[in-house]
Structure 1
Amino acid sequence: MPALLTPDRRYLIVRARLWRTSNPELSEAMRQHLVNELMDARRAVKDAKASGDAEAMVAARKAVDRAKKGLGERGPVWWTDGAPDYNRHMVKNTPYAAWFAALSDDEAA
């Protein structure tokens, strides 16, 4: 099943929650570099959890945050029209609610 994106492609919807997508203006090379950094950082979080190393965990989580900010998934929004950020909000509590409800109605039919 393909990922469900909002019509403006700003958010990915997972379990009825909005998650900000990466900045589409990033070059493919930069996006891939940041994704690689993110995956490395996530592996570091896993390793720190397994080892119980609190300092390594702090460093790994900071690395995840840096990569996500670089991708545009956290921090300042990447769009320029002044629209607010609904990252991590439930779709039903955002301006996308009617659009999402209509999708659900279509699936039920």
Structure 2
Amino acid sequence: MTGPPLTTPDGRYLVVRGRLWRCSDPALTPERRDELTRELMQARRDKQTAMRREDREQREDARARVDAAKRALGERGPVWWSDGAPDLTRHLARTTPYADWYASLAEAPTPSDVSPAESPASADHPGTAADAARAAADAPATDPALADAAPSAPHA
């Protein structure tokens, strides 16, 4: 079951296969976030094309555009929060201050643990955070060493 992305309670990180990835800055307007996301995705496509063509100059240009878009989104560079908390991007959730919260997700009942009458799953409520955590854990792994591998973080 696919639901909304698993996000830390404070909205700072997405959790993908147990790893934290910084969300985009919630202060961005939806229009600006959409514009930057389009720029990011185009730069990623351009990088892929340059790599296929073995065009080092174009690849480096595209990588710089990926980085610029991610910085503008708030996913890289200085953190967008002001309470002095460190950036925990790429850290495992279980080794951070989010460890107790993340562990509690595994303790949440799964849809098979509850009767259909008690199940929260419906068109209006696609599943629990635990469902999202399990789905993310089942997703195929990608190489975290890729500089632009972090997902863009959509915000509601």
Fold equivalence (TM over 0.5): yes
Identity among equivalent pairs (%): 52
- What SS does structure 2 have at the residue aligned with 1:19? strand
1-side partners of 2:70 and 2:109: how far apart? 32
- The structure with more strand, counted as a fraction of residues: 1
Deviations 1:46-73 (A, max 9, x none): 1011101111111111100000000000
Letter of the 1:74 partner, please give it: R
- State the Cα distance separating 1:81 from its structure 2 match: 1.0
* Structure 2 counterpart of 1:10, from 6, 9, 12: 12
State the partner residue of 2:56: 54
Q: Determine if the alignment matches structure 1 residue 104 to structure 2 residue 97.
A: no
2-side partners of 1:43 and 1:94: how far apart? 33
Deviations 1:12-66 (A, max 9, x none): 0000000000000011221111111101101011101110111111111110000
Q: Determine if the alignment matches structure 1 residue 65 to structure 2 residue 67.
A: yes
Which is greater in Rg?
2
1-side partners of 2:5 and 2:104: how far apart? 17
- What SS does structure 2 have at the residue aligned with 1:4? coil
Letter of the 1:79 partner, please give it: W
State the partner residue of 1:79: 81
For normalisation by structure 2, the TM-score amounts to 0.67
- State the Cα distance separating 1:106 from its structure 2 match: 1.6
Q: Structure 1: state its 5+ residue gaps.
A: none
State the partner residue of 2:96: 94
- State the Cα distance separating 1:107 from its structure 2 match: 4.6
2-side partners of 1:104 and 1:60: how far apart? 39
- The structure with more helix, counted as a fraction of residues: 1
- What SS does structure 1 have at the residue aligned with 2:82? coil
State the partner residue of 1:33: 35
2-side partners of 1:61 and 1:20: how far apart? 19
Number of equivalent positions: 109
Letter of the 2:73 partner, please give it: L
Q: Structure 2: state its 5+ residue gaps.
A: 114-156
